[in-house]
């Protein structure tokens, strides 16, 4: 009752008193547990798993990385000039990227520009092609999007059947900070 009163005082127009069901969609939708074979992964060296760029991660030093042509399920790799820190990886030069092989309906990415008030355009592909119908809410059919703030971005939502996929993101400007992948 208190919530109803507060909403009314705030100017909300309320429908009747019947119960409503709330269903999350987009990045807030429940995970598809039946098809989830990829676990969350952090991109900083302290907690990451399955880093596959040749030579491994160089801690706290700008380094040029390359992504291998093939990734096993749940491996990931950097390409371009990155500094891999304890909790995140920061892109130092434009046109750096991240590749990951995953098995899940959704791929979310916790990322954003390093500096508040700036933006970083990016492009994603799935199996080397624009995502089309497999796009998440934060990209268009061609895989284009813009990092505007530090948050979780939904980049892929693939329709059934869910199969192993190679995801790639290319940042068109520097100063993107990559923190973690989550899957649903």
In a domain, 69, yes or no: yes
In a domain, 9, yes or no: no
What range defines the domain where residue 166 resides? 31-183
**Structural domain count, the chain:** 1
Q: What pLDDT, on the 0 to 100 scale, is given for residue 28?
A: 59
Whether the Cβ atoms of residue 94 and residue 179 lie closer than 8 Å to each other: no
d(CA 179, CA 84): 10
Distances (CA, A) of 121 to 22, 134, 136, 166, 175: 33, 19, 16, 20, 11
pLDDT along the chain (184 residues), means of 10: 52 54 53 82 97 97 98 98 98 98 97 97 98 97 98 96 96 97 94
pTM of the model: 0.83
In a domain, 135, yes or no: yes
Could you tell me the CATH number of the domain that includes residue 45? 2.60.120.260
In a domain, 68, yes or no: yes
- Mapped onto helix, strand or coil, the DSSP state of residue 87 is coil
């Amino acid at each position: 009752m208190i919530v109803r009163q507060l909403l009314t005082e705030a100017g909300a127009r309320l429908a009747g008193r019947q119960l409503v069901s709330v269903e999350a969609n987009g990045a807030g939708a429940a995970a598809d547990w039946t098809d989830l074979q990829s676990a969350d992964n952090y991109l900083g060296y302290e907690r990451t798993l399955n880093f596959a760029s040749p030579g491994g991660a160089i801690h706290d030093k700008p380094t040029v990385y390359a992504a291998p042509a093939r990734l096993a399920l749940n491996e990931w790799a950097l390409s371009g000039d990155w500094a891999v820190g304890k909790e995140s990886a920061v892109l130092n030069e434009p046109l750096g990227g991240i590749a990951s092989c995953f098995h899940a309906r959704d791929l979310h990415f916790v990322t954003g520009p390093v500096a508040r008030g700036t933006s970083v355009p990016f492009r994603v592909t799935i199996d080397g092609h624009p995502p089309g119908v497999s796009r998440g809410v934060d990209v268009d059919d061609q895989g284009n999007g813009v990092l505007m703030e530090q948050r979780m971005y939904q980049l892929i939502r693939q329709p059934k059947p869910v199969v192993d996929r190679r995801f790639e993101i290319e940042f068109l400007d520097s100063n993107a900070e990559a923190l973690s992948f989550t899957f649903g």
